[in-house]
Structure 1
């Protein structure tokens, strides 16, 4: 199964750590990062898609962060 996640957070080092943690667990970057201004909070938000080959079949109950 090919698993997909879209990681998001404010544009801080915490976002970089979130992506780094996913990479250290075998996830791979998928596409370019995205940035958007959140007018409600006045901060920039980041997003990065990641993918991973995982054993088993897909189920909506899968906790993607645990793969």
Structure 2
């Protein structure tokens, strides 16, 4: 848990990825602007693509652990 708090960029990407996988709207991004917003949206886009491509939960978890 402490590692996640230190690396906010990785955390923003994984939160965005999870939101994309779950089909949530990109307008739910918690960041107003800047690098964190761009990172969250990048994760969201990748999550949506993986969802559309039919990735299963194991592939999604593996992908997040590699980031």
Q: Is TM more than 0.5 here?
A: no
Q: Which has the larger radius of gyration?
A: 1
Give the TM-score taking structure 2 as reference length.
0.31
- Point out the structure with the larger helix share: 2
